[in-house]
C-alpha cells in the first residue's frame, strides 16, 4: 500500500470553519489536495508544496492534528487503496494563479456543508474526523491568526 500526504485547507470566521476542495485531475470529483513526498521531504514541507501546487494556497500546517485514512484511488480503471495522512492547514493566502490551475477548480464550503460537496465516502470520513475536533481546530487557528 502506498502512503501519501495531504491537507485540509481551511479558514475561520468567528466560530465558522470553511474547507477548500479541489477537483481531481481525471474525473473532476471534489477532493482534498494530496500527493507523494519527495525524497528527504518532511510531511510539513510536502503538505505546503501540495497545497500550493493543487489549490493555490499557502498557510500554516497544524502538525498536532494528523489524520490518516485509507482512500480508494482509480488508476486506468484499476482501484487501489492508498493511506493518506492529512494535516489541517490554516489558509493565509489564496493565489489567483497556481501551478495546476489549468487542471483544477477549487471550492470553499462551510464545514457543516462539506460532507455534501464530495461524493466520496473516504473523504467524508476525513471531514467527519476534522469536524469532531472542531473545538481544538478553532482554538489553535485563533491563536495562530493573532
End-to-end CA distance of the chain: 40
- Report the alpha-carbon distance of residue 50 to residue 46 in Å, rounded: 6
Task: Report the interhelical angle of 134-145 vs 121-132 (nearest 10°).
Answer: 70
In this predicted structure, the answer to whether residue 113 has a pLDDT above a threshold of 80 is yes
Tens-place pLDDT, residues 114-131: 988 987 788 889 999 999
> Which grid cell sits at 131?
469536524
Q: What is the mean pLDDT of residues 96-122?
A: 92
Task: Provide the whole-model pTM.
Answer: 0.93
What integer pLDDT is reported at residue 59 of this predicted model? 97
Please report the DSSP string for 68-98 in residue order.
EEEEEEEETTEEEEEEEEEEEEEEEEE-S--
> Which grid cell sits at 72?
480508494
What integer pLDDT is reported at residue 34 of this predicted model? 95
Which among 25, 10, 31 has a CA at the least distance from the CA of 108?
A: 10
What integer pLDDT is reported at residue 146 of this predicted model? 66
Tens-place pLDDT, residues 37-94: 999 999 999 999 999 999 999 999 999 999 999 988 777 778 889 999 999 999 999 9
Domains of the chain: 2-145 (3.90.79.10)
What integer pLDDT is reported at residue 26 of this predicted model? 81
Amino acid at each position: 500500500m502506498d502512503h501519501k500526504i495531504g491537507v485540509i485547507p481551511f479558514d475561520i470566521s468567528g466560530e465558522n470553519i470553511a474547507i477548500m476542495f479541489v477537483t481531481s485531475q481525471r474525473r473532476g470529483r471534489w477532493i482534498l489536495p494530496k500527493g507523494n513526498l519527495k525524497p528527504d521531504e518532511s510531511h510539513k514541507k510536502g503538505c505546503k508544496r501540495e497545497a500550493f501546487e493543487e489549490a493555490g494556497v499557502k498557510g500554516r500546517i497544524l502538525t498536532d492534528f494528523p489524520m490518516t485514512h485509507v482512500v480508494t484511488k482509480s488508476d486506468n480503471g484499476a482501484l487501489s487503496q492508498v493511506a493518506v495522512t492529512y494535516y489541517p492547514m490554516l489558509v493565509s493566502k489564496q493565489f489567483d494563479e497556481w501551478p495546476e490551475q489549468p487542471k483544477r477548480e477549487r471550492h470553499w464550503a462551510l464545514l457543516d456543508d462539506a460532507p455534501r460537496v464530495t461524493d466520496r465516502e473516504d473523504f467524508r470520513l476525513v471531514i467527519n474526523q476534522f469536524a469532531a475536533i472542531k473545538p481544538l481546530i478553532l482554538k489553535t487557528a485563533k491563536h495562530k491568526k493573532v
